[in-house]
Structure 1
Amino acid sequence: MHDHCGEDVFRLDASTVGVAGTALTHEILSARPATEFERPTFKPLHGRSIPRTDAAKLMQAIGSDVRAALKTPASKTSDLSGAWPHVGHVYLRDLLLGGDPYRLRILMDRALELTPKLTWALIAAGAVPSVQLRPEASAIAKLTANAVTYNDRRYAMGLYRRTAAPVCFTISTLVANAMWLGSPFDDDTPNQNILYEAMRLLPPSWNILRNASPEYTALDSRISPDDDVLILPFLSHRDPAIWDDPNQFRPERWDSIDPDQQPGYLPFGHTSERCWGRHMVMPLAERLLDILRGNGLTVSPRQITAEVPLTGLLGVFQVNISRQ
């Protein structure tokens, strides 16, 4: 960050070029559609391609589950104190998928992020019998239950996790980031502003990979035909040429900024291929913030440092939330 913030193009290693300039970022991401290996959620699963028609069905199903969850009144007595993002993740898992069989809900466990082998061991065991659902099961679980053969059930359970887990992971992490960066918040600060600013400083998609492609050399001679390109919103979100006080948490800046039109602001990717979950993230994240703020919860004053691992989902490892 300190070496390259403010630069537009720079070499990261022998075969990778980093890009943070807003104009070149737009040109690169507009040059061609993402391939199936560049899509973060719906890249091939165990060597099996995920057609866009299947991805669309999955998105529609989890979207239906989110809309149903948002229609239920938010309990003002929900105890969301404790270690975040874990607490928020469990809340969302139960809100969206509480009626699903245990062998599906266990696939939401955050511990499975440690190794894919553990995930696939659970899926292999869970796929042996057919999936039986209760009437209150989620729409995404009903898609999973349609699989007939063992191999199809393994594939369907893998898709269940691929689709539902990012919703729980991303939203709980985003809210944890917002709490760490700015709580306690002024009463008149809108939740949307808080979330937009949290995503600026700690963007959920902090990098966007594009594999080597001849289109990119034509756009900038510093990119060779063999170079992979790593777009870095983590840097463009802190570019001093774009943002006033770029390293400061200032949610009021969003009073006058349209997040969909702001150059260099890519928390959900580029306009050419927005993250499919963006319309689910904001309302669910606002719901969580409403509960936290309404119950007077904030970061424990005993916690003065936090770790932010450089993983696929950029977030504070643990935030201790308590009532003051």
Structure 2
Amino acid sequence: MKEEVWSGFEQDPLGFLDRELSGAGDIVRTGRNEYCVGNPAEARTVLSNANGSYAEHSDFFHTRYGYFEPRSAQLDMRREARGLLREYLKSRPPGELREFLRRELGASSRWPDTGNRLTYRYLFPLLLSPDRPQGLRALLDQIVERSVLAGARARQPRWRRMWLQFNTTWRLSQAIGERQTQPRTPPADLLDVVANAAEPDRRQDELSEVYLSFLFAVAGSVGFVLAWSLYLWGTHARRDAPAEWIVHEALRLWPVAWQLGRRPVQAHDLSGVRMETSDEVVVCPYLVQRNAAHWQAPAEFRPERWADEDAWRNPAFIPFGHGPHRCVAADLATQLVADMLQVIRELGEVGVTAHDHRPTVAAAMAPPPFTLTIATTG
């Protein structure tokens, strides 16, 4: 394939993948040394890495210094973070979510930014406990507005992005360092989770990046899933499907984490193509989950397909990854989004007006901009 053909991927990645996608969706070459995998079995093989063909990698635990280790520290963080989220959601009083959404949304709101802000504000006590300095909260507010919202980074001048990065690293490192000097106690928030799981001599700037992964997951990924669910529900005729079906169909059609890159450490064959150590293999949930061999009418929004119990076990459904690095809180986050979607639908006459049909494609895939209106009834 000529290099000028590969350049089409950079200009319009989703359009390129749609054009190049074969009926089985096995593998698509997207660069001189880059391949996107769309075959479900091969995708799971790459992500599980049972035969050690790839360098150990976690998209969540990737920092500027490489792969965060040891694995035991990762497992501690995953377990404690899931426990905190589960207990936080379990402890919410009845009606709190409805009151929160009614108060925050108002009659009209602009999305997908509103989705990011909603999940961030609702889960904020999970990120920072109430006794943390107010300055840290203000810092997280800035990060969300300038780095998490769809297209936010592109709207910031380079000097401002650099200053925010410096200020974030310094202040979070300081907060983590202070926590590590205190007696170890059960974590009160995700900052505690990060500080407790690592050895005291671990680079605190690296730990600050791990903490930011939690922030981006809470405000970015979960917020975009909520926005996609609302967008698809509001722009299609099937408006009476259960919220859980809509969320899963949104995750299938438009996975927020749409690229999961891995680096081979030994030459091997993948979907009939020879992979060398100089190549990059990208598992592409966008391709996998539109695989015509596993989904009927894969490009169509059909939430009713989730009425079939087999759909929940379809191997061509990996929106949260697969294997040892699959998102540990995927079920809790998905249920929260479904609960939020259901409450929003019950707030009144809900309308969705799309302002574009093209998603924002970056590290995370955000839905097109749209306006949500809610007309309350008697």
**Shorter-normalised TM range:** 0.7 to 0.9
Which has more helix, going by share of residues? Answer: 2
1:179 and 2:230 are equivalent in the alignment: yes
- Match of residue 309, structure 1, among 360, 370, 373: 360
**Corresponding residue for residue 287 of structure 1:** 339
Q: CA deviation at 1:214?
A: 2.8
- What secondary structure is seen at the aligned counterpart in 1 of 2:83? helix
**Is the 8 Å Cα contact of residues 264 and 280 (structure 2) preserved in structure 1?**
yes
In structure 2, C-alpha distance between the alignment counterparts of 1:194 and 1:247, rounded to whole Å = 15
Q: What is the identity, as a one-letter code, of the residue corresponding to 2:59?
A: P
Q: CA deviation at 1:237?
A: 1.7
Q: Deviations over 1:62-121 (max 9, x none)?
A: 323322331213342333432233323333323333324344433351412427732332
1:4 and 2:20 are equivalent in the alignment: yes
**Corresponding residue for residue 227 of structure 1:** 279
In structure 2, C-alpha distance between the alignment counterparts of 1:278 and 1:245, rounded to whole Å = 25
**Is the 8 Å Cα contact of residues 206 and 233 (structure 1) preserved in structure 2?**
yes
In structure 1, C-alpha distance between the alignment counterparts of 2:240 and 2:368, rounded to whole Å = 28
Q: How does 1:109-124 map to 2 (within 5 A)?
A: 109-113=144-148, 114=153, 117=162, 118-124=164-170
- Match of residue 101, structure 1, among 124, 133, 144: 133
Q: Which runs of 5+ in 1 are unaligned?
A: none
CA separation of 1:232 and 1:257: change in aligned 2, threshold 3 A: farther
**Is the 8 Å Cα contact of residues 209 and 230 (structure 1) preserved in structure 2?**
yes
**Corresponding residue for residue 56 of structure 1:** 75
**Is the 8 Å Cα contact of residues 170 and 281 (structure 1) preserved in structure 2?**
no
- Match of residue 21, structure 1, among 39, 51, 63: 39
Identity of aligned residues (%): 21
**Is the 8 Å Cα contact of residues 16 and 230 (structure 1) preserved in structure 2?**
yes
TM-score, normalisation: structure 1: 0.83
- Match of residue 205, structure 1, among 222, 247, 257: 257
Q: Deviations over 1:194-253 (max 9, x none)?
A: 111001110122122121243632x45422323321222212222333222222211100
**Is the 8 Å Cα contact of residues 232 and 301 (structure 2) preserved in structure 1?**
yes
**Corresponding residue for residue 114 of structure 2:** 87
**Is the 8 Å Cα contact of residues 60 and 210 (structure 2) preserved in structure 1?**
no
In structure 2, C-alpha distance between the alignment counterparts of 1:272 and 1:54, rounded to whole Å = 14
Q: Which runs of 5+ in 2 are unaligned?
A: 1-16
CA separation of 1:4 and 1:75: change in aligned 2, threshold 3 A: same
Q: What is the identity, as a one-letter code, of the residue corresponding to 1:72?
A: R
Q: CA RMSD in A?
A: 3.3
**Is the 8 Å Cα contact of residues 19 and 229 (structure 1) preserved in structure 2?**
yes
Q: CA deviation at 1:304?
A: 4.1
CA separation of 1:143 and 1:296: change in aligned 2, threshold 3 A: same
In structure 1, C-alpha distance between the alignment counterparts of 2:293 and 2:227, rounded to whole Å = 28
TM-score, normalisation: structure 2: 0.72
Q: CA deviation at 1:261?
A: 2.1
**Corresponding residue for residue 214 of structure 1:** 266
Range with greater deviation from structure 2 (77-86 or 242-251) = 77-86
**Corresponding residue for residue 76 of structure 1:** 98
- What secondary structure is seen at the aligned counterpart in 1 of 2:261? strand
